[in-house]
A and B are shown apart, each in its own frame.
Chain A
Amino acid sequence: MDNTIESLKSTVADLNREIATAHLLSTSEAEEFRVHYLGQKRGIITQLFKVIPHLPKTDRREAGQLLNALRNTAQSTLAEAHSKVAKDSTAASQIDLTLPGRQHRWKGSRHPISLALTKITDIFNRMGFNIAEGPEMEDDWHNFTALNFPDDHPARDMQDTLFIDEGHQHSSHILMRTHTSPVQIRAMLDGKPPFRLIAPGRVYRNETITYKSYCLFHQVEGLVVDEGVTMADLKTTIYSFAQSFFGHDVKLRYRPSFFPFTEPSAELDVWWELPDHPNGGRWMEVLGSGMVHPNVLQAVGIDAERYTGYAFGMGVERPAMLHYGIQDIRVLYENDNRFLSQF
């Protein structure tokens, strides 16, 4: 080989032309190309690098640059060929896109009661209500007395209370709360007005389990106490809630009712369409409400002349069952996978 920079330049130019026109269509052609130009021992470009030490010192740098560029070109041509060949081998004719994807887990799910509770609390959160909590085991004072239930009043008959066995004492002062309303009392004793809170939770009834009643269910309680709060504020709030929950075109009815801890008291009914019903549907009670009774405010040491407030409470199961078309309440507590997977 002629050891001059000029002959090297012309060799490199020839090789560049050769490489540029190379057509590498398969893995074996690419491998041939690699061995021919870049092979560790006999590769043309590898061999050319061995010339450099024999060149005049002044030319060696230029020769190095030339050969490096040539090697890069060869390598990228090779890489291109490899990727093209690889792409071809996984072409559409060979991959079955209809195969199901791999699933490493089954789908999880949330319980419908939980979904309904979240939906309710979310709406009130957006209206600026805070969340409060209380125990499910309560004493008589928080559950009844402070809420203006007289000792021996028929109002206590409205609730079948489950009492706790306190052993030797038999005082019947501890019970499973019959409503979430005692959370109102705990919240008001804990802080100072204004209050604006909701309390979701589990409540108990001492009832036999049937398709339409269970020994426990869930409620969301609401309480607002401030200066200048009126029944118009109450009605506005719960109508807004019902429109968010049931839809803006929901038909509502607001009628007088009775709860010992509110006065005036009211029940909110929703018109539920039932195609098979002779009247085309019927009114369903969804929410009890009223202005906080002055006796309740007094029981927790709030000036009932200065502050007024409202409270409301609703069951969760009933609207959830209506919404999902569930007829038998027991299915909620059976937790069959085939039931759970629908939510």
Chain B
Amino acid sequence: MKISYNWLTKYVNHQWPPQQVGNALTMSGLEVEHVDQIGLSLDGVIVGQILSVQSHPNADRLRLCEVTLGEPQSLQIVCGAPNVEVGQRVAVATVGTTLTLHGKSIKIKKAKIRGEISTGMICAEDELGLSDDHDGIMVLSDHSVIGEPLLDYLRRECDLTEDVCFDLSITPNRPDATCHIGVARDLAALRDVPLRLPDITPPSSTGDMDQHLDVEIHCPELCGRYTAMMVQNVTVAPSPPWLQRRLESVGLRSINNVVDITNFVMYECGQPLHAFNYDLISNKQIVVRSSVSGEEFITLDEKHHVLDSGVALICDGHQPIAIGGIMGGKNSEVDDSTTNILIESAWFDPSGTRRSAKSLGISTDASYRFERGVDAQLQPWAAMRAVQLINEIAGGSVVNGIIDIHPHPQPLPTLDLRLSRIHAILGIEITHRHVTQILVSLGFHVDEKTDGVLSCTVPSHRPDIFGEIDLIEEIARIHGYDQIPLHSHTPLQLPAPLARPSDQARDEVVSFLTGNGFREIYTNSLLPDDVASQFSQGVLGVEAPPVRTLNAVSSSMATLRPSLLPGMLSVMKHNVRHSQPVLRFYEFGHVFHQGSAQSTFLEHYSEYDALLIGISGPLNPSSWDTSSRMADFFDLKGDMSLLFDTLQLNPFEMQFHDQPTEITEYHITLATENLRCATIAKLADSIQDYYELPHPVFFADFNWTRLLELYDQKPPTAFTPISLYPIVERDLAISVEESQSVGSLLSTLQTAGKPLLKEVNVFDIYTGDQIPAGQKSIAFSLRFGADRTLTDKEIDRVMQKIVDVLSKQFNAILRS
């Protein structure tokens, strides 16, 4: 929303320079996003008069002009404009002047143009930064004085030259601030000076208007008020310079005097207006009705629309002529030949306008304001302001009276404001007098109701004010947030919040992973649908289809990730492509799927926190006496068992799957009470190939939410006194069938060794010459201990028991 400093200053005598105005607006709730200096460095541009015009001997299109600047010596200037004529007063950029054209600086020099000397330039409006008009040179009025700086003329005649344009970011709660008077009202409240409004008295009766027009509203829910006034026998022409400048200062293009006036009034008071060519309104009748689905309409910008139902249509006796509150129609447009003007000043419902604008895909200056809420009492004032200006500028005669259809006028709401509540919310004291001054400046009517309670009538330009808290905000923003003090102390809320044990679990795991050379990544939660479906696999804990979005801007973000795995694989692919072979990553993030199996919040959907750890490529850097090797499954498995040790979470039910699934070559599932907690796996070779990864990928996928539940259920750590008695170590080597899994040997051995056996490790696995074919040798180191000194005999007994059990269950043979 653009606001001109000069224009603003018309309504309030603030006596602040532009920068201070900008700062004050920002600090009272109208954020200034940009400040643009408009124009105009016109130093060196002087008013001159053309004394003679001759054709250029060497160029058909150029002419030689003799120009006087009021000095004895006249100048010869070469000019290419078609409209140059003897006697014209023109703007001359003298030698040495710097002009800015299309953002570039041009310095005027004495030059020879096609062999003829040219000392200066006769300027067009665009060359002076006054408009984008380059149809011909700018011709000045007779009020100009030959030899005076152009700037003096412009100041006198057009009333504005240099200006500052504030680009304001208007929040949705400030419909009143979409116009200069609205912004000026804030400024007046901040300065505690009166707001100066144009003196407008709209007609109070229909007068002669009913002889010219009949208006009916058939959809009061869409159009709450319709007023109309008329001017006859106008001359549609370009706007006077001052009006053009006003519109240009807020970024609008001048069209013609009538249309410009409607825009001017909208930017002045916030009321969108529409000017119809009265002679094109058939039956001299206007009906405002709701559209029927499928109706067609061509707007002013010549676009063809097929309407939904429920759009406010302005119709004449024959057809729709405008979309209410949004845009007029091609069929009733004001053009240069129009002589009779009908001004519509209406109020359209914010929700209705918003729905219609959305369904039509149009946003206009008018719809922007109606969506936010236009002052519901402003219509006659704005209509009168417009017809008066039209009458002044375009001539003709104003038809006496106004049509004002207002089916359900609403009384202004009155709210109670407790002075004590201001303090309770803001934490500062503001005097009763100051509170009243602020509210009155903003247009509220304030009465003292009882002691400490003010009764405030909300002005019609503030439809956003519903309750006491809104009044407090108004007071706070004008009083200034800077006035709210900072405490040097603040109370401490006790008891201190309880920390969940799981709050620290993540920190511990992050430290562990970071310390072990894993890098944390963040990936997109939105995936292409086929990728999401491919990774919706039971092995990753996804038992149902993925969750799809309804309106994603791109098909690459159509579906929510069911797993962190595809994101990490893309990161691996990216790094490999960029010659970064070390792939060791982890990510924490939410994953989603349909079905309420793991739902904590929403019905029919599962969402939980996941942790994914993945490795591929070299395990360690090579060094002067250490060589690098490729990471394998047991590197990851080992890290993961350390991770569980870090969290002191053990043991899990483990299921070993050596058969491939769609996304794994083999994997281990860790569960408790049949609920999956983690999967440790080798990625399927086909997927590895698809992601163009040169080395096998191993990953551990955790249901982190589930793990945290286990963590929170875990009994607190209790210290076990350290045994004072020595540990006894023994080794045990057995041979078993080559296909025998070590895991079951280990667990049997651990059970058989209880309670003296404290620790077992596998320290060697051997097949070869020393061992019969089809057999392998496994060597275990065992550590025994108890709360006494163990004798050899006791340990021999346990060892024998272990050997017996192993030989019985696994046909293990003791090797000596």
Name A's B-contacting residues (CB within 8 A).
99-100, 102-111, 113-114, 128-131, 134-139, 151-155, 157-158, 162-166, 170, 172, 174, 176, 186, 194, 196-197, 202, 204, 206-209, 215-216, 226, 228, 230-233, 235-237, 239-240, 253-258, 263-267, 291, 293-294, 308, 332-338, 340-341
A163-B549, A231-B425 known; A106 vs B484 contact (CB < 8 Å): no
Measured CB to CB, the nearest residue on chain A to B481 is A254
Scan residues 486-501 of chain B and give those whose CB is less than 8 A from a CB of chain A.
486-487, 490, 492-493, 496-499
List B427-442 residues whose CB lies under 8 Å from chain A: 427-428
4 residue pairs, one from A and one from B, having the closest CB atoms: A230-B427, A232-B427, A258-B171, A256-B29
The closest CB in chain A to the CB of B373 belongs to A154
A-B contact pairs, 8 of them (CB 8 A): A130-B497, A202-B589, A231-B426, A232-B426, A239-B486, A254-B484, A265-B473, A334-B574
The reply to whether B592 and A137 contact each other, CB–CB distance below 8 Å, is yes
Contact B503 A131, beta carbon cutoff 8 Å: yes
Cβ–Cβ < 8 Å partners of A110 in chain B: 510, 514, 520
Contact with A along B2-39 (1 / 0, CB 8 A): 00000000000000000000000011110100000000
Across the interface, name the chain B residue whose C-beta is closest to A254.
B481
* B355 contacts across to A, CB distance below 8 A: 152
Is B542 in contact with chain A by the CB < 8 A criterion?
A: no
Q: Contacts A108-B515, A165-B548 given: A174-B469 contact, CB under 8 Å?
A: no
Contact across chains for A263 and B473 when beta carbons are under 8 A apart: yes
Contact A103 B526, beta carbon cutoff 8 Å = no
Query: A264 contacts which chain B residues (CB < 8 A)?
Result: 425-426, 469, 472-473, 476-477
Closest B residue by C-beta to A228? B424
- Report the bound CA distance from A44 to B620 in whole Å: 55
A255 contacts B554, CB within 8 Å?
Answer: no
Please name all residues of chain B whose beta carbon is closer than 8 Å to the beta carbon of A215 when the two chains form the complex: 524, 526, 553, 557
CA distance A130 to B503 in the complex (A): 10
Q: Which residues of B contact A230 (CB under 8 A)?
A: 423-427
Q: Is B519 an interface residue (CB 8 A)?
A: yes
Question: Contact partner of B482 among A107, A254, A293, CB < 8 A?
Answer: A254
State which of B209-217, B254-262, B575-583 sits at the interface with chain A: B575-583
A231 touching B484 in the complex, CB below 8 Å, given contacts A100-B623, A165-B549, A257-B171: yes
A251 vs chain B, min Cβ distance (A): 13
Q: A233 near B548 (CB under 8 angstroms)?
A: no
* Cβ–Cβ < 8 Å partners of B624 in chain A: 99-100
Contact of B484 with A134 in the complex, beta carbons under 8 Å? no
Please, how many angstroms separate the alpha-carbon atoms of A129 and B503 in the complex?
13
Residues of B within 8 Å of A135, CB to CB, are: 590, 600-602, 607
Cβ contact within 8 Å between B549 and A236: no
- Check if B425 sits within 8 Å of A308, measured CB to CB: yes
In the complex, what residues of B have CB within 8 A of residue A334's CB? 571, 574
Interface set, chain B 382-432, CB cutoff 8 A to A: 423-428
Contact code string B510-553 (vs A, CB < 8 Å = 1, else 0): 10011111111111111000000000000000000001111111
Q: Is the CB of A232 within 8 A of B428?
A: yes
**B interface size (C-beta, 8 A):** 89
Determine if A291 and B425 form an interchain contact, defined as CB atoms under 8 angstroms apart.
yes
Partner of B487, one of A99, A232, A308: A232
Q: Which residues of A contact B476 (CB under 8 A)?
A: 231, 256, 264
A134 to B106, CA, bound (A): 60
Q: B467 within 8 Å of A by Cβ?
A: yes
B174 cross-chain contacts in A, Cβ below 8 A: 258
A258 to B553, Cβ gap below 8 A? Answer: no
- From B481, B522, B547, B585, give the contact of A333 (CB < 8 A): B522
Return chain A residues, CB-CB under 8 Å to B485: 232
Bound state CA distance, A335 and B625, in angstroms?
Answer: 32
CA of A333 to CA of B520, assembled, Å: 11
> A255: shortest Cβ distance to chain B, in Å?
5
For B592, the chain A residues whose CB sits under 8 A away are 136-137
A-B pair count, CB < 8 Å, reads: 237
B553 contacts A207, CB within 8 Å?
yes
Which residues of A have CB within 8 Å of B496? 128
- Contact partners of B428 in chain A: CB under 8 A: 232
Option from A134, A172, A294 in Cβ contact (under 8 Å) with B469: A294
A336-B580 in contact (CB<8A): yes
Task: Answer whether residue B127 sits at the interface, using C-beta atoms and an 8 A cutoff.
Answer: no
Bound complex: CA of A186 vs CA of B601, how far in Å? 10
| Best-buried of A165, A233, A256 by chain B (most CB within 10 Å) | A256
- Quick one: which of A129, A131, A138, A264 has the most chain B CB within 10 A? A264
* A335 pairs with B517, CB closer than 8 A: no
Contacts of A99 in B (CB 8 A): 624
Contact A153 B26 (CB under 8 A): no
> How far does the Cβ of B366 sit from chain A's closest Cβ, in whole Å?
15
Chain A residues with Cβ below 8 Å from B274 are none
CB-CB under 8 A from A157, the residues of chain B are 172
Residue B605 is within 8 A (CB to CB) of chain A in the complex: yes
Q: A215-B557, A255-B26, A335-B574 known; A137 and B580 CB under 8 Å?
A: no
Contact call A137/B490, Cβ cutoff below 8 A = no
- Chain B positions within 8 Å of A237 at CB level: 490
Find out whether the CB atom of A172 lies under 8 angstroms from the CB atom of B550.
Answer: yes
A158 touches B172 (CB 8 A): yes
B589 and chain A: residue at smallest CB distance: A202
Q: Of B493, B518, B523, which is within 8 A of A194 by CB?
A: B493
| Inter-subunit contact A341/B519 (CB<8 Å) | yes
Taking A103-B620, A232-B427 as contacts, is the C-beta distance between A153 and B172 under 8 angstroms? yes
Interface centre among A103, A172, A335, A338 (most CB of B within 10 A): A335
A235 touches B548 (CB 8 A): no
B584 within 8 A of A: yes
Q: Which of B424, B522, B582 contacts A106 (CB 8 A)?
A: B582
Report the Cα distance A277→B354, complex, angstroms: 39
What residues on B are CB-neighbors of A294 within 8 Å?
467, 469
* A269-B803 Cα distance, complex, nearest whole Å: 74
Expressed in whole angstroms, the minimum distance between the Cβ of A30 and any Cβ of chain B is 29
CB atoms of B29 and A257 under 8 A apart: yes
- Complex Cα distance, B31 from A151, in Å, reads 26
When the two chains form their complex, are residues B522 and A196 in contact, meaning their CB atoms are under 8 A apart?
Answer: no
Q: Does B770 contact A (CB under 8 A)?
A: no
Q: How far is the CB of B701 from chain A (nearest CB, A)?
A: 18
Q: Which of B350, B470, B490, B519 has a CB less than 8 Å from the CB of A340?
A: B519
Residue contact B623 to A102, C-beta cutoff 8 Å: yes
Residues of A within 8 A of B172 (CB): 153-155, 157-158, 258
Distance from A311 Cβ to chain B, minimum over Cβ atoms (Å): 14
A321 → B minimal CB distance (Å): 13
In the complex, whether B223 has a CB less than 8 A from a CB of chain A is no
- Hey, which chain B residues are within 8 Å of A336, CB to CB? 574-575, 578, 580
**CB distance A263 to B623 under 8 Å?**
no
Measured between C-beta atoms, what is the minimum distance from B441 to chain A in Å? 16
Is the pair A335, B585 in contact by a Cβ cutoff of 8 Å? yes
Indicate if the CB atoms of A129 and B584 lie closer than 8 Å.
no
Q: Does B372 contact A (CB under 8 A)?
A: yes
**B205 CB-CB contact with A under 8 Å:** no
Which residues of chain A are near B484, meaning CB under 8 Å?
Answer: 231-232, 235, 254
Are the CB atoms of A152 and B354 closer together than 8 Å?
A: yes
Of B470, B485, B518, most A-chain CB atoms within 10 Å: B518
Contact of A293 (CB < 8 Å), options: B469, B492, B607: B469
Residue B375 at the chain A interface, CB threshold 8 Å: no
Interface centre among B28, B172, B355, B525 (most CB of A within 10 A): B172
Contacts of A231 in B (CB 8 A): 425-427, 476, 484
Q: Specify which chain A residues have a CB less than 8 angstroms from the CB of B589 in the assembled complex.
A: 202
B514 adjacent to A162 (CB under 8 Å)? no
B705 and chain A: residue at smallest CB distance: A133
- CB of A255 within 8 A of CB of B547, answer no
Which B residues touch A152, using CB under 8 A?
A: 350-351, 354-355
Q: Is A176's CB under 8 angstroms from B549's CB?
A: yes
- CB-CB < 8 A to B482: which residues of A? 254
How many angstroms between the C-alpha atoms of A28 and B172 in the bound complex?
95
B560 adjacent to chain A (CB < 8 Å): yes
In the complex, chain A residues whose CB is within 8 Å of the CB of B26: 255
- For residue B659, CB closer than 8 A to chain A, the reply is no
